[in-house]
Amino acid sequence: MIIKTSEFITSAVKRNQYPVDVRPEVAFVGRSNVGKSSIINALTNRKKLAKVSQTPGKTRLINFFLINDEMYLVDLPGYGYAKVSKKEKESWGKTIETYLIEREQLKKVVLLVDSRHKPTADDILMHEWIKHFGYKVIVIATKSDKLSNNEIGKSKKLIKETLKLGPEDEFYLFSSVKKNGKEELIDNIFGDLVEE
């Protein structure tokens, strides 16, 4: 699949602000500084589609991007950022939870983890949560350009073990800078949502 067009449609906090249509959706979720905006921009070939923030934890809204006029890429608020209040964290959690529980159009969730670090307790919880709700989950370890070949093997092993990924689970390493394997990734994330 080739991403020909991608456009920002709307930001939402509540359910009544979500787009009203039946196009399938893929949600991207991850820690605040995992590089979510960078990977969305890399996959869509748009430098500024998703705003890359200098301060992690800026995205407090759910952002809907229309891809090829056929499906939505949904950018969920980043979690686990230390410098926000407990109350704020709870409201983000609620925003994400409402979307995950009640969105029929949601077909799969892409969980982003940092390839340089062991997945956090928040990452593990998010992974279990997505699976609990019965969504297909694709795990992508970002910022892989920062690792040596030797470290890549160790990183893969650590992430798979920490998240308890089995052979049937989809797992990729990706660098938004180098973009190696981008086409394969796009096919695996969006390909089966397109009606032939």
Which pLDDT score is estimated for 9? 95
Question: How many CB atoms within 10 Å of residue 79?
Answer: 21
Quick check: is 13 in a domain?
A: yes
| Inter-residue contact 193 to 107 (CB < 8 Å) | yes
**Residue 184, H or E segment:** helix 182-190
Which pLDDT score is estimated for 84? 66
**Chain segment 168-179, per-residue pLDDT in tens:** 899 999 999 999
Which residue is associated with the tokens 């990729």? 172
Quick check: is 110 in a domain?
A: yes
Over 90: is that where the pLDDT of 24 sits? Answer: yes
Which pLDDT score is estimated for 155? 96
Which pLDDT score is estimated for 196? 45
Which pLDDT score is estimated for 87? 76
Which pLDDT score is estimated for 97? 86
**Chain segment 104-158, per-residue pLDDT in tens:** 999 999 999 999 999 999 999 999 989 988 899 999 999 999 999 999 999 999 9
Mean pLDDT (whole number) for 77-91: 73
- pLDDT category of residue 20 using cuts at 50, 70 and 90: very high
Least confident of 13-17, 76-80, 152-156: 76-80
Which pLDDT score is estimated for 82? 59
Residues whose CB falls within 8 Å of the CB of residue 95, separated by 6 or more in sequence, listed in order: 13, 60, 61, 62, 76, 77
| Inter-residue contact 117 to 146 (CB < 8 Å) | no
Look up the pTM and report it: 0.92
Quick check: is 1 in a domain?
A: no
Range of the domain at 99: 6-193
Higher pLDDT, 89 or 36: 36
Over 80: is that where the pLDDT of 167 sits? Answer: yes
Which pLDDT score is estimated for 6? 95
CATH number of the domain bearing residue 124 = 3.40.50.300
Domain count, the chain: 1
What counts of helices (H) and strands (E) characterise the chain? 5, 7
Higher pLDDT, 101 or 84: 101
